[in-house]
Amino acid sequence: MISIEEKLERDRKKSLKYRNSHLEECRERCRKWQQKNVEYIKKYKKKYRIEHKNYIIEYNVEWRTKNKEYNKNRIKKWIADNYYHVLVYNRARQSKLKILSDGSITNEAILSLLGKQNSICLMCGKDISNCYTLDHIKPISKGGTNSIFNIQLLCKSCNCKKGNRE
């Protein structure tokens, strides 16, 4: 009598042997299925990302720490390959800053804001008296202004995490 484990192992080997001998046929069948089930795949991936959010974050952090040099070189290569794209982006951002600026951000205004916040990062609550960054509450890329009323002081890590979200 064959045990269930042995039967499963035998079937797995048989299936693997078939796939290896009919590789293109299997790939084509898979491609057709994916084309027919685009919406199902989107929903499945979305559900997976929600259910495994912490795992995905941990995996990405671990990968970035293991591959710092690779990632740094990849970004440098992309910037070099897309020099004009980066140049246009930077010029557009600078022009938005000039147009939207009302000239009210002074050192005194920033120090006043630091006092109003009690030298605390508004997102995580860390002390930012020695090191802080200016953050636009409504990002310039989303129509925010460069006035003191649209500025908050955050620690560098919180500002990076926030990105261009409100």
What residues does each domain of the chain span? 104-162
CA gap 67, 150 in Å, rounded: 37
How many C-alpha atoms does 2 have within 13 Å on its Cβ side? 8
Of 149, 146, 116, give the one whose Cα is nearest residue 132. Answer: 116
> Does the structure show a pLDDT above 70 at 101?
no
Overall residue count recorded for the chain in this entry = 166
pLDDT digits (tens, 9 = 90+) for 7-42: 999 999 999 999 999 999 999 999 999 999 999 999
**pTM value > 0.75:** no
pLDDT at position 44 is 97
- Is 60 exceeded by the pLDDT of residue 119? yes
Task: Indicate the pLDDT class of residue 165, thresholds 50, 70 and 90.
Answer: confident
What lies within 8 Å, CB to CB, of 146 at 6+ separation is: 97, 100, 101, 102, 105, 136, 140
Q: Does residue 104 register a pLDDT over 70? A: no
